[in-house]
Amino acid sequence: MKPSSPAETAPPGVAWRSIPHLLEDASRRHGAAPAVVDGADWLSYAELADRVLQAARGLVARGIEPGDRVAIWAPNSWKWIVAAVAAQSVGAAIVPLNTRFRVDEVRYIVGRAHPKLAFVQGRFLDQDYVAMLEQACGDAPVGIVTFDDVPVARGGSWDRLLEDGATVAPGRVAALTLAVGPDDVSDIMFTSGTTGHPRGVVGRHGQNLRAFHDFGALGGLRPGDRMLGVNPFFHALGYKLGWLLSMMFGAAIYPMAVFDPERVLSLVARERLTILPGPPTIYLALLARPERPTLDLRSLRICITGATTLPPALIDRIRTEFGFETILTGYGLTECSGLATMTRPGDGTTTLCETSGRAVPGVEVAIFGPDGTPVPAGTTGEIRVRGYNVMDAYFEEPEATARTLTPDGWLLTGDLGALDARGNLSIVGRLKDMYIVGGFNAYPAEIENMLMRHEAIAEVSVIGMPDERLGEVGLAFVVARGAPPAEAELIAWARERMANYKVPRAVRFVDQLPRNASGKVLKTRLREIAREA
């Protein structure tokens, strides 16, 4: 099998055997430098390591052992990071829970992952998370630790955990941490469930460290960087491409529980943030703020974005109006540690808008046809990924694992795409999202990319809907930038720029697209809306 991109020299290999070992090293090298700044809570690397040790001692006192699972159901905060690394320090794996979940969704994951203990925020977004968690756990023997003072029958508060840990010798935790190696399980991340029940992806310390160290090294991160932590920590973008990435490079992470564009701009100006990650919707919201031109945002230098189509006009605006030196985007699934391809500093607007970059070192990305054989550059087919970053199993689901991984190690992503001559990957859509118009395959991502060139379109998502004559036709849900154009005008504009079968037959203007907490557009909900209409 030929590699998916020209040979590239990999950055120097990681020197850490595990995530807690990374923190130990960062504490030695960057001791007094800021590691986490969460409102009034300012933690240096030395203080972060000390708080992790305290929490890890508490977990040992609660009976957490190597191989156990520890769930975390809370918004972004310094306690989220400390709880995660503390669990990993004693050999346990974290199970992050989506903060938008409700009782039945949490009950399903608790039933699959069997956590021994769960950290939870008492209240968030006007919801009682403790009550919901207790209901979801039912009779399952799950201990609960609240990040605040909300009472809980089967556990206690964060402070109580630390008090319990005072009885455990620090050397006991040190011995457990020393035993954690690169092949040990660091996390079980459950998929979004867009194609069925969520599945737990088994992630390991070594593959996470290698993938995101390479991302940071290629992307130009450095000690002293200051990163906004607005992507949710329960997702790979907030956890691995967020606080874990910042820890590797001696940067500081600024957790934000809920995106607030006014607060973000104020934080960037006041704290001189240098790295701003998030989906394109975040940048659109920031650009629209009236106070933005009055603020000094010149500290910003790296933009990390993706998750959807990037219109050229947006790329040009954020370069000009925010002054970013580097814009990075990429492609990855939970099943491949969240990272398979990325753009590189210096890539032009066309590469950023039309592709997700090239495979990271040590990873193969290839396109396969319906017959299961590789296809040439420029040909659309299923995207497959192979390398150290690919999971070896779904947690306790051997049949699903066998359907997703080939015997020779390829991950079947279910995504459609094509590679250009340089190895840059263009995402065309999901296999399940493709629809057929009069015998022609229509790929929503390709059509969306074309429509995003219209100056009046801020966001767009295309689905197929039944049609008596053609079988299926396209329906475009559009978020307008300002006053929406007439439907007929937009369709006429599209007919001038794309093949007739690709042109949506109808346009529906909406205030916003339905998204999950990870920023993905919920096309299942769009189909429901179309059927209801």
CATH of the domain at 446: 3.30.300.30
Contacts of 468 (CB under 8 A, 6+ apart): none
Interval 234-244: pLDDT, tens: 989 899 999 99
200 domain residue, yes or no: no
Question: Do 348 and 232 share a structural domain?
Answer: yes
Interval 292-338: pLDDT, tens: 999 999 999 999 987 556 778 788 888 999 999 999 999 999 999 99
13 domain residue, yes or no: no
pLDDT at 278: 87
| Six-digit token string for 466 | 């039944």
Tokens 């403790």 locate to 130
130 pLDDT above the threshold of 90 = yes
The β-bridge partners of 227 are 253, 275
Question: Do 337 and 223 share a structural domain?
Answer: yes
Question: Do 438 and 315 share a structural domain?
Answer: no
Question: Do 227 and 165 share a structural domain?
Answer: no
Contacts of 35 (CB under 8 A, 6+ apart): 26, 43, 44, 45, 47, 48, 246, 247, 252, 253
pLDDT at 196: 57
What DSSP assignment string belongs to 459-488? EEEEEEEEETTTEEEEEEEEEESSSPPPHH
CA distance 211 to 439: 41
Q: What average pLDDT score do residues 164-175 get?
A: 97
Question: Do 446 and 415 share a structural domain?
Answer: no
**Percent share of the chain, pLDDT over 90:** 73
Question: Do 125 and 272 share a structural domain?
Answer: no
Q: What average pLDDT score do residues 117-145 get?
A: 93
CATH of the domain at 114: 3.40.50.980
14 domain residue, yes or no: no
CA angle 393, 395, 397 (to 5 degrees): 80
**Domain stop point among 367, 395, 429:** 429
Name the strand (E) or helix (H) holding 162: helix 158-165
439 pLDDT above the threshold of 90 = no
Interval 451-487: pLDDT, tens: 988 989 999 999 998 887 777 899 999 999 888 999 9
176 domain residue, yes or no: yes
Q: What average pLDDT score do residues 22-50 get?
A: 97
196 domain residue, yes or no: no
CATH of the domain at 407: 3.40.50.12780
Residue type, 13: G
The β-bridge partners of 367 are 383
pLDDT at 433: 79
**Is 269 strand, coil or helix?**
helix
The total of structural domains in the chain comes to 3
CA distance 269 to 263: 10
For residue 339, which of 378, 367, 306, 380 has the smallest C-alpha distance? Answer: 306
**Confidence grade of residue 6 (pLDDT, cut at 50, 70, 90):** very low
Name the strand (E) or helix (H) holding 426: strand 425-430
**Percent share of the chain, pLDDT over 70:** 95
475 domain residue, yes or no: yes
First to last CA, the chain: 48
Question: Do 295 and 370 share a structural domain?
Answer: yes
Name the strand (E) or helix (H) holding 276: strand 275-277
Characterize the bridge pairing of strands 341-342 and 330-331.
antiparallel
Interval 182-217: pLDDT, tens: 999 999 999 865 445 789 999 999 999 999 999 999
CA distance 49 to 532: 53
Question: Do 294 and 437 share a structural domain?
Answer: no
Question: Do 451 and 363 share a structural domain?
Answer: no
For residue 448, which of 278, 310, 254 has the smallest C-alpha distance? Answer: 310
11 domain residue, yes or no: no
**Confidence grade of residue 419 (pLDDT, cut at 50, 70, 90):** very high
Interval 374-385: pLDDT, tens: 999 999 999 999
306 domain residue, yes or no: yes
Question: Do 401 and 439 share a structural domain?
Answer: no
Q: Which domain holds residue 86?
A: 19-185
Question: Do 290 and 321 share a structural domain?
Answer: yes
Mean pLDDT value across the chain: 91
CA distance 340 to 387: 9
Question: Do 239 and 340 share a structural domain?
Answer: yes
Is the pTM higher than 0.75? The answer reads yes
